[in-house]
Structures are given as structure tokens and as C-alpha cells.
Structure 1
Amino acid sequence: MSLTLTLIRGLPGSGKSTLAKTMGVAHYEADMYFIDADGNYVYDAAKISQAHDWCRQQTEQSLRSGNSVVVANTCVRLWEMKSYRELAKRYRAELKVVECTGQYGNIHGVAEETINNMRKR
């Protein structure tokens, strides 16, 4: 079985997490960093950089162990996928990019204005 890194990108509420959970491989996303010990989502904008670093580290750890990975992050700009492209190359994993375009309503309370700004990017 070949090693695969799948990036699922899309706006908040587009179905990224739901799709990722169906793929049967290790699944990471920056939002997971904000889940506390009780399972509550506690977002802190000041820690978004740490959240993305954590997601990349988890992804690399899985690839290094020979496990395929799916990452579900917004990645609205191409540069946001660069580090994952580099990881796929480093570990000789096939890189797949999937874009979710559904509109299911976001569960993290992202303001519509923020989503519209992301859409423009």
C-alpha cells in the first residue's frame, strides 16, 4: 500500500472534517489543537500559529511512521499548503488535494464576514 497525504481544503462549514473522518486514516486539523480535556472547542486566535505547527508535526510524525494521513484545514491560499507538499515529497507520499464546497453551516461560530473574506482569497 502506498503512502498518501490527502489535503482537504475549503471554507468553514464546507464538509472538510466530515469527509476526513470517512477516509480511514490518521486525520488532523488545526482546530483539534483547540479541543480541551473535556472535549470542548475553545478557540484562541492568538494560538493559531501553534495550532498549525501542531497539525504539521502530527502529520509528519504519521508519515514518518509509514501511515497515510488526511489533513482538513481551510487552506484558502496556495502557500498554506506548501509545508504539506514538502512533507509529501520528503516522505515520498502521494499528495492528493480535495476541495470541499458544501455549505453546511460552520460549527465553530466563524462570522459570515470572515468566511466571505476567506472566499475572496
Structure 2
Amino acid sequence: MTKNKSSNDEKILYILRGLPGSGKSSLAKTIMNSHGKRGVVLSADDYFLVNGKYEYDPSKIGEAHLFNQESCREKCEKGVSPVIIDNTNVKCWEAKVYVEIALHYGYKIEVREPETPWWKNRDPEKLARKTLHGVPLKKIKGMLDRWDDDFSRNNKR
């Protein structure tokens, strides 16, 4: 992949956050379109794509995130922009590695959440209906209970 930079030559890494079904992947597409479809979207979910089919294995979630983090590091090292991290990022610490990578390679960081009404209203039933990967309502409710509203630099959780 060749170097891709945003229109003002500023490298940017977007950290998306939101529960399954909230509209993160749609937001990622919108961001990509705003950058002329340059850059890359990285998601731990991609690790579970086998021949175009999603085959989730909870025992491999750690591997999936390490794979995604390494992919991010490789893209940032090459200067690809934008880099869009399309993960739930329920807790602040989950995005820490991406922040460190971005800062190391001189990227601006922007944290974004979907603007969908069901996400703004934190509607777990609607999220469960909207999720592309069949995440059960009970799991979504648990993630919502753990959700960090404060995603600032000072939050160490």
C-alpha cells in the first residue's frame, strides 16, 4: 500500500468506540469517504473472517487484538492516513496501545462514536437487533454496564 495522507498532509488515527450494532462500521465508511476512500479501516473482527465468513472464537480474542494492533503499527510506520480503528473500546485501556502507536508515529488522534439514535439512547435491545455478528442481548447489556463514559487522558480504567 502506498502512503496516503489526508488533504492537509496531517496524519490522523481515528479511534471508534461503540457497542456492537451502534453503527461503528458505518461511521468508518463515512470517515473513509470523507478522505477520498484513502487509508485503512482496522478491526479485531477481521481476524475472525475466514473465506469471507465471520467465525468468532472467543478463545482467540486476545490474538485478534494483538493482530489488529500490529496491523495498526505497520500502517502507521508506512504513513498511511487515515487509520481507523473500528473496535468497541468499552474501557479506556483498550485503546491505549493505539494511542501510543499514533503518538510514536506523529499521528493526530480523534476519538469518535456513532451518532445513531439507538446508540445515543444506549438502547441495548436495538443494538442487539442491529449487530452484524449476532452478539446476544445479555452480552451487550454487560458491555453497556462496563462502558467508560469518560474517555479522557486522565481516566486510567
Query: Which TM class, normalised by the smaller chain length?
Result: over 0.9
Please give the TM-score of this superposition, normalised by the length of structure 1: 0.94
Instruction: Compare relative contact order (CA 8 Å, sep 6+) and give the higher one, 1 or 2.
Output: 1
For residue 95 of structure 2, what is the aligned residue in structure 1?
81
Give the partner amino acid of 2:46: M
**Residue 12 of structure 1, CA deviation:** 0.3
- In angstroms, what is the RMSD of aligned CA positions? 1.1
Q: Distance in 1 between matches of 2:94 and 2:115?
A: 18
Q: What SS class does the counterpart of residue 109 from structure 2 fall into?
A: strand
1:3 aligns with 2:17: no
Aligned partners of 2:132 and 2:42: how far apart in 1?
17
* In structure 2, C-alpha distance between the alignment counterparts of 1:54 and 1:101, rounded to whole Å: 28
Structure 2 residues not aligned, in runs of 5+: 1-8, 119-126, 147-157
Conserved? CA contact 1:10–1:101, under 8 Å: no
Q: Which among 23, 42, 54 is matched to residue 67 of structure 2?
A: 54
SS state of the match for residue 84, structure 2? Answer: strand
- Give the CA deviation at 1:101: 5.3
Cα distance, 1:107 vs structure 2 = 1.0
Following the alignment from structure 1 to structure 2, what is the Cα–Cα distance between the partners of residues 21 and 98? 13
Q: Which residue number corresponds to residue 40 of structure 1?
A: 53
Residue in structure 2 matched with residue 92 of structure 1 by the alignment: 106
Letter in 2 for 1:95: I
State the TM-score, normalizing by the size of structure 2. Answer: 0.73
Taking every aligned residue pair, what percent have the same amino acid on both sides?
A: 40
Helix, strand or coil at the partner of 1:27: strand
Computing the radius of gyration from Cα coordinates, the structure with the larger value is 2
How many equivalent residue pairs?
A: 120
Mapped to 1, the partners of 2:105 and 2:77 lie a distance apart of 7
Match runs of 1:94-113 below 5 Å: 94-100=108-114, 102=116, 103=118, 105-113=130-138
